[in-house]
Chain A
Amino acid sequence: MMSRGQAAIVLPAPREISFQLPRIGVRHLVVLVFLLAYPWFATPFFTFQIGAQSLALGLIALSLTFLGGYGGMVSLAQITVAGIAGYGVAIFGAASAADTAISLGWPWWVAVLISIAIATVCASFIGWLSVRTEGIYTIMITLAVGVAFYYLCLQNYSVFNGFQGFQRVHAPTVLGINLRDALPFYYLVLFWSLAGYFFVKYLLRAPFGIALQGIRDNPRRMNALGFNVTAHRIAAYAVAGVIAAVGGVLLVWYNGLIGPGSVGTSWIINILVIAVLGGMRHPIGPFLGAIVFVLLQTFAIDLIDRERFNLLIGAVFLVIVLFSPDGLLGWWAGIRARFSTSKFVTPRGGVR
C-alpha cells in the first residue's frame, strides 16, 4: 500500500500552477452543499453522533494519511498527539468539579492554544525520535511511544488523574452560541475538517509537499539533490501534529471526557484502521474511512453482539489489507478503471 513506484507521478509543477485555485467540479459542489445542509434534514443524533464524530476522527486520521501516504512514515502515535491536546484542554481549561485540583481553569481559548502548541511540540519530538531510523522501525517506535503514553496516563494521578481521567470537558459558549449543541458543534467540526482537508491539499502541491513526496519515493536521491531529508520529515510530523491536535481538541469536546481509554491501543489501532480503510492515496480517504467506521461502530450492534465489535473491525481491516491495500479509494479506482473507456485513468484513483 505504500505505493513506491506508481504514486510517484506527482510532477514538479511550475510554481504559478501549483498556487492556482483547484478546479471545482460539480461533484465538489454537491458534496459541499450536502455537508452544509446535512444537519437540516438529519436528526440531532445523526448530526452529532455520526456527522461530527466521523469528521473529528477523520481529521485525526487525515494527519496519519498525510504522514503515511505522502511522507511514507506510518506513525501510530497520532492519537497520542490528539490525546495530549485533549488532556491539555482538560488540564489547562475546566473539567468537572472533582478534578479542579488538577484543572487550572484558564479561559478556553488560552487552554486550546496552549494544548495545540504542546501537542505540536510533542509530535515534532516523536518525529525526531522516529526519523532517526527508517521504514518499518517507524511503526514500532511510534507504537511504543503511544502505548507508553497510555500507561503513563493510567499510572499517573498528579497530572493525568490516572484511570479516571477527566470528565465533563465541554465545548465553550462563544458569542451566545453553545458549541455543545449538536448543530453548532457539527458546523465547528465541519469547518475545521474542511480547513484541514484544504490545507493538506494545498500543502501537497506546495514545494514542501512535493519535496516530501520525493523523499517518500527516494530519500537518497532527494538528499543528493540538496534537500534536508531529516528536516523535511520532522516538519511533516509537526504539520501532522497540528492537524491531529485540532482533531484531538474536537474529539475531547465531542466525548466530553478524556482518559487512558481514549489513547489506548484500541484507539491507536482504530485511527490506523480508519486511514487504511479509506485509503492513503488522497486526503478524502480518512474521512470516508471515518464515516464507514462510525457507521459500523454505531449500527453493528444491531447485527452482532456489541461485545464483538473488535472482531468485526479486525476482520474488516484484515480484508481491506489483504484484498484492497489502497482501501475504499482503491476499490473506487478499480471500479472506475473497469468501466472507463479512457486509457488515462490515474493510478492515484479517487476523487480529485
Chain B
Amino acid sequence: MKRSWKIFWTLVIGLPLAAFAVWGLWDNTRLFAVTFLNGITLASLYFIVAAGFTLVFGLMRNVNLAHGSLYLLGGYLGFLVAQHTGWFVLALAAGFAGAALVGLLMQVSLFRFMPGEDLRQTLVTIALSIIIADLLLWWLGGTVHQADAPELLSGPLRDIPLIRAYSKYRLALLPIGIAIGVALWLFLNRTRVGMMIRAGVDDRAMLSAAGVNVNVLFAVTFAIGAGLAGLGGVIGAVELSMAPGEDVRLLLASLIVVIIGGMGSVVGAALGASILGLAETYGLAYAPTYSVVFTFVILVLVLAFRPRGFLGRPA
C-alpha cells in the first residue's frame, strides 16, 4: 500500500476514534478511564485464550472449534479445585492440566489419524464441542459458577487518582496476560521446542525430514494450546463466571481475535485481543444494545482491507 493511502486510512480511522476519546474524556472522565481498564483487562483474558487457539492453528492448520469447550472445562475444574483447597494457584494448575490433558487426548486419539484434512478435523472439533459442553452440563448443571478471587487479590484497590477504586483482581490480569505473552514469546523464540514449532509452521514436511518427530511436537503444541484455554477458563471463572454458553462467547472472541490479528501469530493475537476487548467494553458502556455491531464492523473492515488479518501470512 502506498504511503499516502496509509496516512489516509490512519486519518479516516484515527480521527473519529480520537474525537470519541476527547468527547468521552470531557463528558465523563471516570467512566472513560474505567471502561479503558475494563477493556484492557478483558483483552488480557481474550489474549490468553486466543493465543492457544492461534498456536494450534499456526502449526497444525487445525481450527479447534472445541477451544471454547476447553475454556469451560478449565474454568469448572479451577472452580472446583479452588473451592475444595482454597488455593488459587492450584486451581490455575488444575485448569491448565485438565484442559491440556483433554487436548492431548484429542490430538493423539483423533487428529493424528487425519493429517492434512483440515475440514474434517474442524467438523470433528465441532462434534467434540457439542459433546464436551453437554457432558459438562450433565456433570455440573446449568447454574452459574462464580469462583472467588484469591485472598491477596480480592477487594478493590483504593485511592487511585481519577477512578478512585478498581478491582485488584482485574488489575492483576494485565500483568498476568503480559507475563503469559512474554513467556510464550520466550518459549517460541528461545527454546528448542519453540524453534521446532516455528519451523513446523513454516514447513512441516521439511521439519519431519530433518528428523524431528512431528507427531510428538503436534501433541505438545496441542496440549499447550488447550492448556492455555483451560488457564483462561480459571481466570475467567473469577472475572466473568462460568455457565453453559460461556464457551460460545469465548470461542467467538477467539475467532475474532485471530481473524483480526492474523492466524498463527501470537503477537497478532495480542493486537487482536486488545482491539476486541476495548471495542467490546466501550460498546457496552456507550451503546449497550449495539455493542456487537462494533465488533462486527471491525471484523468487516479488517476482512475488507486485510483479508488475512493484521499480522497474518498466506496459508
Q: Are A and B part of the same complex?
A: yes
Query: A: which residues have CB within 8 A of B?
Result: 1-2, 74, 129, 132-137, 139-141, 143-145, 147-148, 151-152, 155-158, 264-265, 269, 272, 276, 307-308, 310-311, 313-315, 317-318, 321-322, 325
Proximity string of chain B (287-302) to chain A, C-beta cutoff 8 Å, 1 when within and 0 when not: 0111111011001100
Residue of B nearest to A322 (CB): B124
Give Cα distance in the complex from A135 to B307, angstroms.
Answer: 13
The listed residue with most A CB atoms (<10 A of its CB), out of B126, B256, B299, is: B126
Known: A147-B248, A151-B292, A325-B120. 17 other contacts (CB 8 A): A129-B300, A134-B315, A135-B118, A135-B315, A136-B119, A136-B122, A137-B315, A144-B259, A145-B296, A147-B252, A152-B293, A157-B289, A311-B135, A315-B131, A318-B124, A318-B127, A321-B123
Give Cα distance in the complex from A269 to B251, angstroms.
Answer: 14
B residues near A147, Cβ cutoff 8 Å: 248, 251-252, 255
Task: Assess the B119–A155 pair: CB atoms within 8 A.
Answer: no
Q: Does B97 contact A (CB under 8 A)?
A: no
Task: Assess the B138–A307 pair: CB atoms within 8 A.
Answer: yes
Task: Assess the B299–A148 pair: CB atoms within 8 A.
Answer: yes
Enumerate B230-262 residues with CB–CB distance to A below 8 Å: 248, 251-252, 255-256, 258-259
Contact of B259 among A141, A151, A158, A325 (CB under 8 A): A141
Task: Assess the B289–A158 pair: CB atoms within 8 A.
Answer: yes
Task: Assess the B120–A1 pair: CB atoms within 8 A.
Answer: yes
Contact of B289 among A134, A140, A155, A269 (CB under 8 A): A155
Residue of B nearest to A159 (CB): B289
Q: Knowing A134-B315, A310-B130, A318-B124, say if A265 contacts B119 (CB, 8 Å).
A: no
Task: Assess the A155–B290 pair: CB atoms within 8 A.
Answer: yes
Q: Does B308 contact A (CB under 8 A)?
A: yes
Task: Assess the B127–A139 pair: CB atoms within 8 A.
Answer: no
Proximity string of chain B (43-85) to chain A, C-beta cutoff 8 Å, 1 when within and 0 when not: 0000000000000000001010100000000000000000000
8 CB contacts below 8 A, A to B, read: A129-B304, A136-B122, A140-B258, A155-B291, A158-B289, A310-B133, A317-B123, A325-B120
Residue of A nearest to B307 (CB): A132
Query: How far apart are B45's CB and chain A's nearest CB, in angstroms?
Result: 17
Enumerate B121-173 residues with CB–CB distance to A below 8 Å: 122-124, 126-128, 130-131, 133-135, 137-138
Query: How far apart are A96's CB and chain B's nearest CB, in angstroms?
Result: 21
Query: How far apart are A337's CB and chain B's nearest CB, in angstroms?
Result: 21
Give Cα distance in the complex from A135 to B304, angstroms.
Answer: 17
A residues near B291, Cβ cutoff 8 Å: 155
Task: Assess the B255–A144 pair: CB atoms within 8 A.
Answer: yes
Proximity string of chain B (263-307) to chain A, C-beta cutoff 8 Å, 1 when within and 0 when not: 100000000000000000000000011111101100110011001
Task: Assess the B130–A317 pair: CB atoms within 8 A.
Answer: yes
Task: Assess the B126–A136 pair: CB atoms within 8 A.
Answer: no
Task: Assess the A144–B256 pair: CB atoms within 8 A.
Answer: yes
B residues near A140, Cβ cutoff 8 Å: 63, 255, 258-259
Task: Assess the B255–A311 pair: CB atoms within 8 A.
Answer: no
B residues near A152, Cβ cutoff 8 Å: 290, 292-293, 296
Task: Assess the B248–A139 pair: CB atoms within 8 A.
Answer: no
Interface size, B (range): 35 or more
Task: Assess the A313–B130 pair: CB atoms within 8 A.
Answer: yes
Task: Assess the A269–B130 pair: CB atoms within 8 A.
Answer: yes
Give Cα distance in the complex from A322 to B299, angstroms.
Answer: 33
Task: Assess the A156–B133 pair: CB atoms within 8 A.
Answer: no
Proximity string of chain B (90-132) to chain A, C-beta cutoff 8 Å, 1 when within and 0 when not: 0000000000000000000010000000111011101110110
B residues near A74, Cβ cutoff 8 Å: 119
B residues near A272, Cβ cutoff 8 Å: 123, 126
Give Cα distance in the complex from A191 to B300, angstroms.
Answer: 37
A residues near B263, Cβ cutoff 8 Å: 137
Task: Assess the A133–B303 pair: CB atoms within 8 A.
Answer: yes
Give Cα distance in the complex from A325 to B120, angstroms.
Answer: 8
Q: Knowing A144-B299, A147-B252, A148-B296, say if A308 contacts B138 (CB, 8 Å).
A: yes
Give Cα distance in the complex from A325 to B114, angstroms.
Answer: 12
Q: Knowing A317-B130, A321-B123, say if A265 contacts B138 (CB, 8 Å).
A: no
Query: How far apart are A119's CB and chain B's nearest CB, in angstroms?
Result: 17
Residue of A nearest to B118 (CB): A136
B residues near A313, Cβ cutoff 8 Å: 130
Residue of B nearest to A72 (CB): B119
Query: How far apart are B62's CB and chain A's nearest CB, in angstroms?
Result: 9
Query: How far apart are A47's CB and chain B's nearest CB, in angstroms?
Result: 30
Task: Assess the B131–A311 pair: CB atoms within 8 A.
Answer: yes
Give Cα distance in the complex from A158 to B290, angstroms.
Answer: 10
B residues near A145, Cβ cutoff 8 Å: 296, 299
Query: How far apart are B168's CB and chain A's nearest CB, in angstroms?
Result: 30
Query: How far apart are A305's CB and chain B's nearest CB, in angstroms?
Result: 9
B residues near A317, Cβ cutoff 8 Å: 123, 126-127, 130
Task: Assess the B304–A265 pair: CB atoms within 8 A.
Answer: no
Q: Knowing A133-B303, A135-B315, say if A1 contacts B248 (CB, 8 Å).
A: no
Task: Assess the A156–B135 pair: CB atoms within 8 A.
Answer: no
Task: Assess the B119–A144 pair: CB atoms within 8 A.
Answer: no
Query: How far apart are A124's CB and chain B's nearest CB, in angstroms?
Result: 14
A residues near B123, Cβ cutoff 8 Å: 1, 272, 276, 317, 321
Give Cα distance in the complex from A8 to B189, angstroms.
Answer: 43
The listed residue with most B CB atoms (<10 A of its CB), out of A135, A156, A265, A318, is: A265
Task: Assess the A314–B138 pair: CB atoms within 8 A.
Answer: no
Query: How far apart are B134's CB and chain A's nearest CB, in angstroms?
Result: 4
B residues near A276, Cβ cutoff 8 Å: 123
Query: How far apart are B253's CB and chain A's nearest CB, in angstroms?
Result: 10
Q: Knowing A1-B120, A132-B303, A136-B63, say if A148 contacts B292 (CB, 8 Å).
A: yes
A residues near B120, Cβ cutoff 8 Å: 1, 321, 325
Give Cα distance in the complex from A325 to B307, angstroms.
Answer: 30
A residues near B126, Cβ cutoff 8 Å: 269, 272, 317
B residues near A139, Cβ cutoff 8 Å: 63, 119, 122
9 A-B pairs with least C-beta separation:
A314-B130, A318-B127, A314-B131, A132-B307, A310-B134, A317-B127, A311-B134, A147-B252, A151-B292
